[in-house]
């Protein structure tokens, strides 16, 4: 879906007398383009293949997620030894250490006495309830080993191309400078010091300070710039921890802002459609319902980037 050259000219909005109307119109037109591209992305073979693979990974409890993070902080996709072989045609690399988590032990129990079949006494009076109708109960937990994808080798998993491309000369520096006027703290972090796994950027909200943004440094300046905008949008839109939309909605809003700002500077941001398709389980038109929030933050970021800083 991505191309190596920007697909849009940079929007200048140079005429002061018409700038406001032009910006409102452009934002609405660009968001309509994004929604159309997102619907196409959902119907694409690449997205269906990616979705199929994601559905085969388990959702882990908070306790297991903590165990995984403690043992392998950079883990992104974990599965059991046999599951990697049977489901994904991958093999755990020799010498890798397992990540231990808790797995539930369940069994059918008698609805009358509560015993499992092996310990069941027919004299309990449950003759009228066939075994097939006994209820499955959680009995206990046992430690089981899993492995992260980084500990395996074999057939690659399908990936969604979500990076931006194009000429972003000076834009990263301008966005870092603009963050100060937006009351946001920004740091570009080298790969060797990155502590957030596969994420390319994060926005954290300290209890006693400004939102803190960290973005992974990499060679693609266009994608670094749009990641910065995405996290700036989180910092501006989602600082109110008492009134937050669900995570998918937060991601949709932030990525829509990144799309608008990136497109304004002539970047190829068409892969945002895959990002939104992966996050947005609701109808795409819901983005338009949040248009004013998205538009307002996009314009705040654009206003903060002065022509002198580019």
Q: How confident is the model at residue 141 (pLDDT cuts 50, 70, 90)?
A: very high
Asked if pLDDT for residue 270 goes beyond 50, the answer is yes
pTM over 0.75: no
Q: What is the mean pLDDT of the chain?
A: 84
Mean pLDDT of the region 208-215: 92
Mean pLDDT of the region 147-157: 93
Q: Assess contact for 296 and 258: CB atoms under 8 A.
A: no
How many CB atoms within 10 Å of residue 6? 20
- In angstroms, the CA 246 to CA 243 distance is 10
Q: What pLDDT score was predicted for residue 260?
A: 92
Asked if pLDDT for residue 142 goes beyond 70, the answer is yes
H or E element, residue 113: none
Q: What pLDDT score was predicted for residue 4?
A: 37
Domain extents for the chain?
19-43+161-309, 62-154
- In angstroms, the CA 233 to CA 242 distance is 17
- In angstroms, the CA 115 to CA 31 distance is 59
């Amino acid at each position: 879906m991505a191309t190596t050259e920007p697909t849009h000219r940079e929007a200048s909005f140079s005429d002061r007398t018409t700038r406001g109307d032009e910006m409102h119109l452009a934002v609405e037109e660009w968001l309509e383009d994004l929604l159309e591209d997102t619907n196409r992305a959902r119907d694409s073979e690449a997205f269906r293949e990616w979705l199929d693979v994601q559905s085969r990974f388990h959702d882990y409890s908070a306790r297991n997620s903590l165990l995984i993070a403690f043992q392998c902080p950079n883990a992104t996709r974990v599965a059991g030894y046999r599951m990697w072989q049977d489901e994904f045609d991958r093999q755990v690399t020799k010498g890798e250490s397992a990540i231990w988590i808790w797995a539930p032990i369940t069994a059918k129990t008698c609805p009358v006495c509560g015993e499992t079949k092996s310990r069941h006494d027919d004299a309990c009076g449950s003759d009228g309830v066939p075994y097939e109708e006994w209820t499955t109960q959680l009995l206990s937990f046992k430690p089981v080993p899993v492995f992260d994808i980084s500990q395996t080798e074999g057939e690659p998993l399908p990936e969604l191309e979500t990076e931006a491309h194009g000429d972003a000369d000076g834009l990263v520096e301008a966005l870092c400078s603009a963050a100060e006027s937006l009351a946001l703290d920004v740091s570009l972090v080298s790969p060797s010091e990155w502590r957030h796994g596969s994420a390319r950027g994060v926005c954290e909200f300290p209890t006693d300070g400004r939102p803190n943004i960290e973005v992974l440094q990499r060679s693609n300046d266009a994608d670094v710039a749009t990641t910065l905008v995405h996290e700036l949008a989180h910092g501006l839109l989602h600082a109110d921890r008492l009134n937050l939309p669900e995570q998918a909605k937060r991601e949709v809003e932030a990525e829509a802002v990144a799309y608008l700002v990136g497109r304004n500077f002539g970047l190829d941001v068409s892969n945002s459609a895959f990002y939104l398709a992966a996050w947005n389980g609701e109808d795409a038109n819901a983005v338009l319902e949040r248009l004013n929030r998205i538009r307002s933050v996009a314009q705040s970021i654009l206003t903060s980037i002065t022509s002198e800083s580019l």
